[in-house]
Structure 1
Amino acid sequence: MNLLSCGILVFLMCLKGRHCILPFTGGIGIYRPSYPHYHHPHPHHHHHPPPHHPPSTSGCGGLVRVQASHGGFVFTSPGYPTTYAPFSYCRWFFYTEREGGRLLVQCPVFDVEVSSPCSSGSYLALHDPLTRRDVWYCGNQGPQNEASTSNYLTVTFRGGGLGGAGRRGVYCTVSVLSYIPTIPPPTPSPSLCRVITGCGRRGTNTRIVGGTDASLHEFPWMALVLIPDGFCGGALINDRFVLTVAHCVEERVLPNNSLPTVVLGEHERSTPQETTNTLVLQAVRVWPHEDYQSGGSKDNDIALVELASLVSLDTVYPSIAPICPPSAIVSDGGLAVTAIGWGFTSVPGNRADVLQKVELVTVPLDQCQDRFQEGTVTNNMICAAAPGKDSCFDDSGSPLMTKVGNHWEVVGLVSFGPSICAQENTTGVYTKVSNYLSWIQNKVGRARTCPPV
C-alpha cells in the first residue's frame, strides 16, 4: 500500500505483462502485489519434515519433530551449563505435524557475549521460513515468546572467536503453539448470524481517516492468501469463500495442482501475539474466472478461493467477519473508497508489517483509460486515486471498499497499475465486483452469509 509519492523510477522486466522482476531483494514477483515475501510449503507437504541439511559442526542440532503432547523440546548451547567453546556451532530444524500448529521459543537462561551487531559474534538466531525473517540475539536479551508463522523454524547457535568467556550460554525450549483460539466459542445459533454484527461491520476505529495503520481488526474480512512464491490479499464474503484476483491463483502461480493457504484475523504479519483469533485455513479449490486470460488481457481478473473448513459466523469474535457485496452499480467517478493491504509503502521500500489503509476517490473510466495503453482498462474495472496515495506491489486481491449506511461493501479488488505507484496523473486499477455478482453466486451456491446491518 503506497501512502506516499514514490518519486523514484522503477524498472520492471515483465513477462507477458503479469510477472515482473523488481529491482529489490527477493527476485520474482507477481504484477501488483504478489511479490515474494512469504514462502509457504507446498500444501501436500505442509506436515512433512524439511529437506536434509548438513549437520552442525559441533555435533549438536539436527532435525527435531516437536510434539504438542510432550510439552516441548529443550535445547542448549554446547557444554551448558558451563561456558561454550570458541566457534562452536549448532543448528536445529524444528517442525511440528500438528494441523495449524506454530512453534514458540522461550529462553529462561540466556547469557552470551555482547556483540554489535549480534551476528558478528556469539548469537542465537531464529529463521522463519515462511516470512524469511531472521532475528539475532546476544548479551542477556534472548527470545522470551517468539513464535513462528508456520510449522517450521530454524534455530542457530554460534559461539564467537573468544568462546563464552565465562558465560553460561543458553537454555531454551520449543513448544507447539496453535492458531486455534483457546477461548471456547459460544453455542452457535442455527438461525442467526453474528450476534453483534452482520456483514460489512468493521471493528472499532481508533485512528483518524487518512492514517496509515489500520486498527486491530478494523477490517475483519481481510484475508492473507499465501501462495508458493509470495502472498496476495483477499476478502471473506461468506462462511466458505474468499474473493481475490485471478492472477494470484492462476495455474502458473499455483503449479502442480498446489493450493493456497488463507489466514483470517491477521493484523501484524510478523507476530501472532496481537490476537488469539487468527485462523489458518487450507483451500480445497480455486476458481479463477473462466474468461481471464493468463498473461494476456487484464480483463476478468477475479477469483474465488474455497476454504476447507467453514468459518463460523455465529460467534462473537470481532476478528473475522464477511464483507457485504456491492448493493448498487458503482458511480463513474467521485465515490469515496478505502483500499487496504500489506503491500509496499514506498518504492523502493518495504512491505507493510501492519495492515495498511488508504482513502481514495474513484476516477471516471474515460479519464483512466487515457492513462493506459488503449484497450487495457475495460468496463469491468474501476479506477481510484488520490494525491500521493495508491495501492502498490503486494496488494493484489485486496479489497477496495465503500461505506453504505452502517456497513461496508467490496466494490473492487486490487488488480494492476503503473510501474510507479502514487505518481501524479496515475491511478490504480481494480476489478469491478458488481459486474461479477451472478458469477460469484453461481460458484458459492448455498454458502452462508449475513445480511447488512
Structure 2
Amino acid sequence: MKHFFSVGLSVVFAISSLLGCGKKLGEDRLPRPSARIASASQNFPGIMMITNPKICTATLVGRYTLLTAAHCVNQANGPITIQTPRGPQQSSEFMVLGSGVEGDPYDLALVYLPSPLLSEQEVLSMASGVNPGDNVLVVGYGCASSEALNSAGIKRLGSNMVSDVNEFIEVSTPGIQIKAVAGPENRAGVCFGDSGGPLLKQVGNRWMVVGVVHGAYNDGPGQVSQFVNLNDSHNRTFVSQYVR
C-alpha cells in the first residue's frame, strides 16, 4: 500500500500528463547506497526557504520569480516570507496552476518578488526533461528525518538516479521511510520542508530544473519521492508564460 505524504512543514514543528520514456528501474539497476548521508550545502543561492504557514523550498527561475509547489502557498494567510541571501523578504503576490492535493501532477506555483534578489547567473532555467537512469540532484530545506523535525531549515543536497517517469518523476531512497533531503548522499529523497524544491539535472556545465517536489510515499523498506514533471506541456507553459 502506498502511504502518501506532502512535504511542506508547518512552522509549529520548529521552524495532460507526459508519460516517461523507458521502463521503471528496479533496485538492482540503481546505485548502491553510500554510507554517507546527504549533507548541508551553501551551493545554489537561488534555492531558498519560504514560509507561510509551512516551511517549503522555492527556486529562482526568473529575476522576479520563485517556483514552488501550489500546496506550499494555496493556504497562505498573509505575506509569504522568503529567506533570501540578503535577509528575509515578503511577497503577497503568487499564482498557482493546480490544486496541490495528493496526486496533483500540476502542483505548481509562482511567487513574485518586489525586486530582483540575485544576478541573472543565479537564475535556474528549465531543462527539457529526464528519463529513468538519469542522474539528478535533490535540494531542499527539509528535515533530516521524520523523527527530527526541528532539523528543518538547513539547505541540504544529495544526488540520486531517476527510477521512473510517469505522471511524476520518481526517485527511490532505500532502507528508510520518510527520512530524507537525508538518506544516502547518492540516493537522497525528500522530507518535511522540501516541498516545492527543485530536482536538478546537469546539462553541459549548467544545473537546470526538471521537477518540483510534490510529496513521497513509503514503498516496502524505502521511500519514493515524487516531483512534478516540468516537461509536461501544461506545467512548462505555465512557468514559461508567467515567469517574470
TM-score w.r.t. the length of structure 1 is 0.42
Specify whether residues 345 and 304 from structure 1 end up closer, same or farther in structure 2 by C-alpha distance, changes over 3 A only.
same
Cα RMSD for the two superposed structures: 2.8
2:39 match: 213
2:238 match: 439
- Give a deviation string over 1:42-78, Cα, whole Å, max 9, x none: xxxxxxxxxxxxxxxxxxxxxxxxxxxxxxxxxxxxx
C-alpha displacement of 1:242: 0.2
Find out whether 1:246 has 2:33 as its counterpart.
no
Find out whether 1:311 has 2:137 as its counterpart.
no
2:49 match: 224
Tell me the secondary structure at the aligned position of residue 440 of structure 1.
Answer: helix
The one-letter code of the counterpart of 2:104 is: K
C-alpha displacement of 1:32: 2.5
Aligned residues: 209
The one-letter code of the counterpart of 1:384 is: V
The runs of 5 or more residues in structure 2 that have no matched partner are 16-33, 176-182, 184-188
Specify whether residues 238 and 230 from structure 1 end up closer, same or farther in structure 2 by C-alpha distance, changes over 3 A only.
same
Find out whether 1:341 has 2:165 as its counterpart.
no
Between the aligned partners of 2:158 and 2:172, the Cα distance in structure 1 is 10
Tell me the secondary structure at the aligned position of residue 11 of structure 2.
Answer: coil
1:62 match: none
C-alpha displacement of 1:383: 0.6
1:284, 1:308 within 8 Å by CA — same for their partners in 2?
no
Find out whether 1:234 has 2:58 as its counterpart.
yes
The one-letter code of the counterpart of 1:230 is: K
The one-letter code of the counterpart of 1:387 is: P
**Structure 2 matches for 1:51-450, cutoff 5 A?**
212-216=38-42, 218-227=43-52, 229-250=53-74, 253-255=75-77, 258-265=78-85, 278-289=86-97, 292-293=98-99, 295=101, 297-313=103-119, 321-326=122-127, 328-331=128-131, 333-350=132-149, 351-365=151-165, 379=167, 381-388=168-175, 389=183, 390-418=189-217, 420=218, 424=221, 426-435=223-232, 436-444=235-243, 447=244
Between the aligned partners of 2:79 and 2:114, the Cα distance in structure 1 is 11
C-alpha displacement of 1:347: 2.4
Specify whether residues 423 and 407 from structure 1 end up closer, same or farther in structure 2 by C-alpha distance, changes over 3 A only.
farther
Computing the radius of gyration over CA atoms, which structure comes out larger, 1 or 2? 1
Specify whether residues 284 and 254 from structure 1 end up closer, same or farther in structure 2 by C-alpha distance, changes over 3 A only.
closer
1:281, 1:309 within 8 Å by CA — same for their partners in 2?
no
- Give a deviation string over 1:376-407, Cα, whole Å, max 9, x none: xx53x111124343211221011111111111
Tell me the secondary structure at the aligned position of residue 344 of structure 1.
Answer: coil
Tell me the secondary structure at the aligned position of residue 417 of structure 1.
Answer: strand
Between the aligned partners of 1:237 and 1:443, the Cα distance in structure 2 is 11
Between the aligned partners of 2:203 and 2:7, the Cα distance in structure 1 is 27
C-alpha displacement of 1:214: 3.3
Bigger relative contact order (CA 8 A; separation at least 6): 2
2:95, 2:110 within 8 Å by CA — same for their partners in 1?
yes
1:185 match: none
1:37 match: 11
The runs of 5 or more residues in structure 1 that have no matched partner are 1-11, 18-30, 40-130, 133-207, 266-277, 315-319, 366-377, 448-453
